[in-house]
């Protein structure tokens, strides 16, 4: 073989090896974010967090019983004619695919193996994670928490208050710090974004409540960064300047897509963990 032919041979081999390795890290997962009012999904390229198609949103069924929500998950899967992996985010504590709390959802969810229920309804392999843990994953990988070491707390403000705690980018799952006691009651009942609407509070009044809540978290954890997410975070200019914390505090970057992207990422992390467990 001539030198040129040999060179060409090795270049082709190197290039195909590179393609093979890249394919190993490239994974497409359908992310689905199950919220109180809407269920949104889109296929996600987990390598870069990009949505591969326009989000599809349907209203959350009323009542949002396990079987009704499972049907909606199957609808989203059908919409994308999806045959691969699915990651779902839900507003509850999730242990091994089972829902363990039901603060803002029907109590009929308690103990339900949602991963299994959704897998059966959609004929796909489905993983399930807490919604704020999912959003936190997405922010840590591609958003406001990118390359941030130390202790980072993501707080989502909506119907409830969700929290996701990261130590050097490692999630401590299911922290549920929105239910800490503040002024004698569940903090989310006093300071969640929906309380501002329901009680018609001015931004200033509601910000004081949020500030008190964040000071409570700060006093317990002394984080290095707070990330504020949830629908209200797009209006961060109205309230973040009124927060008096000594800790840096920033709005989430991925906004509405964080739950979808994070649910997809969580599927991928779970897959890697499962592989490591099997190998070990
Ligand atoms: C739930 C959390 C959830 C948060 C945001 C709270 O009421 O207990 O699990 O992450 O709402 O949806």
One-character DSSP codes across 27-89: -EEEEEEE-SSEEEEEEEETTTTEESS--EEEEPPSS--HHHHHHHHHHHHHHTT--SEEEEE
**In terms of domains, do 129 and 164 share one?**
no
Structure confidence by residue, pLDDT tens digits, 123-181 = 999 999 999 999 999 999 999 999 999 999 999 999 999 999 999 999 999 999 999 99
- Residue 133: CB within 6 Å of ligand 1? no
Q: How many CB atoms lie within 10 A of CB 231?
A: 16
User: Do residues 261 and 49 make contact, with C-beta atoms less than 8 angstroms apart?
Assistant: yes
Q: What is the pTM of this model?
A: 0.90
Residue 15 has pLDDT above 60, yes or no: no
Q: How many CB atoms lie within 10 A of CB 5?
A: 9
By DSSP bridging, strand 151-157 and strand 225-229 are parallel
Q: Whose CA is nearest to atom 12 of ligand 1?
A: 91
Q: Whose CA is nearest to atom 7 of ligand 1?
A: 160
CA 197 → CA 55, 58, 105, 252, distances in Å? 27, 23, 19, 21
Q: What is the pLDDT of residue 23?
A: 45
User: Do residues 162 and 155 make contact, with C-beta atoms less than 8 angstroms apart?
Assistant: yes
Structure confidence by residue, pLDDT tens digits, 20-69 = 444 455 599 999 999 999 999 999 999 999 999 999 999 999 999 999 99
Among 33, 89, 92, which residue has the most ligand 1 atoms within 8 Å of its CB, making it the best to mutate? 92
Domain containing residue 83: CATH number: 3.30.420.40
**In terms of domains, do 118 and 155 share one?**
no
**In terms of domains, do 267 and 179 share one?**
no
**In terms of domains, do 152 and 242 share one?**
yes
Q: What is the pLDDT of residue 256?
A: 84
Q: In the chain, pLDDT over 90 holds for what percent of residues?
A: 84
Q: What is the pLDDT of residue 8?
A: 61
- Nearest atom of ligand 1 to the alpha carbon of 92: 9
Residue 101 has pLDDT above 60, yes or no: yes
22 lies in some domain: no
Give the chain's domain count. 2
Residue 217 has pLDDT above 70, yes or no: yes
Q: What is the pLDDT of residue 21?
A: 47
- Nearest atom of ligand 1 to the alpha carbon of 132: 10
Domain span including residue 88? 28-133+258-279
CA 229 – ligand 1 centroid, Å: 12
- Residue 175: CB within 6 Å of ligand 1? no
Rounded Cα–Cα distance for residues 86 and 115 (Å) = 10
**In terms of domains, do 97 and 236 share one?**
no
61 CB-contact burial (10 Å; exposed 0-12 / middle 13-18 / buried 19+): middle
CA 103 – ligand 1 centroid, Å: 7
- Residue tagged 């980072």 (tokens): 152
Structure confidence by residue, pLDDT tens digits, 102-125 = 998 999 999 999 999 999 999 999
- Residue 160: CB within 6 Å of ligand 1? yes
Structure confidence by residue, pLDDT tens digits, 177-194 = 999 999 999 999 999 999
**In terms of domains, do 238 and 265 share one?**
no
**What's CA 237's distance to the chain center, in Å?**
23
Q: What is the pLDDT of residue 88?
A: 98
Q: What is the pLDDT of residue 48?
A: 96
**In terms of domains, do 70 and 121 share one?**
yes
Rounded Cα–Cα distance for residues 44 and 29 (Å) = 5
Structure confidence by residue, pLDDT tens digits, 248-263 = 999 999 988 999 999 9
**In terms of domains, do 182 and 262 share one?**
no
105 lies in some domain: yes
**In terms of domains, do 204 and 176 share one?**
yes
User: Do residues 127 and 113 make contact, with C-beta atoms less than 8 angstroms apart?
Assistant: no
- Nearest atom of ligand 1 to the alpha carbon of 131: 10
Q: How confident is the model at residue 18 (pLDDT cuts 50, 70, 90)?
A: very low
Q: How confident is the model at residue 200 (pLDDT cuts 50, 70, 90)?
A: very high
What tokens does 122 get?
A: 């959609």
Rounded Cα–Cα distance for residues 253 and 97 (Å) = 28
- Residue 256: CB within 6 Å of ligand 1? no
């Amino acid at each position: 073989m001539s030198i040129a032919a040999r060179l060409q041979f090795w270049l082709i081999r190197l290039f195909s090896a590179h393609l093979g390795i890249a394919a190993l890290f490239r994974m497409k997962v359908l992310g689905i974010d199950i919220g109180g009012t809407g269920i949104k999904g889109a296929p996600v390229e987990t390598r870069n967090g990009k949505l591969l198609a326009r989000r599809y949103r349907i209203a959350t069924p009323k009542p949002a019983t396990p079987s009704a929500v499972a049907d909606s998950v199957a609808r989203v899967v059908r919409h994308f004619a999806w045959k691969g992996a699915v990651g779902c985010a839900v507003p509850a504590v999730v242990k091994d695919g089972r829902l363990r709390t039901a603060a803002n959802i029907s109590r009929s969810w308690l103990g339900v193996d949602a991963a299994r229920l959704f897998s059966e309804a959609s004929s796909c392999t489905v993983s399930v994670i807490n919604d704020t843990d999912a959003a936190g994953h997405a922010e840590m990988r591609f958003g406001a928490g990118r390359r941030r070491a130390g202790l980072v707390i993501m707080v989502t403000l909506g119907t409830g208050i969700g929290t996701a705690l990261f130590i050097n980018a490692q999630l401590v799952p299911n922290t549920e710090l929105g239910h800490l006691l503040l002024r004698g009651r569940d903090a989310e009942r006093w300071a969640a974004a929906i309380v501002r609407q329901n009680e018609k509070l001015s931004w200033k009044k509601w910000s004081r409540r949020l500030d008190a809540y964040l000071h409570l978290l700060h006093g317990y954890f002394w984080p290095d960064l707070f990330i504020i997410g949830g629908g209200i975070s797009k209006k961060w200019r109205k309230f973040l300047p009124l927060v008096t914390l000594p800790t840096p505090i920033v709005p989430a970057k991925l906004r509405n897509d964080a739950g979808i992207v994070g649910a997809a990422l969580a599927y991928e992390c779970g897959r890697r963990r499962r592989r490591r467990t099997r190998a070990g």
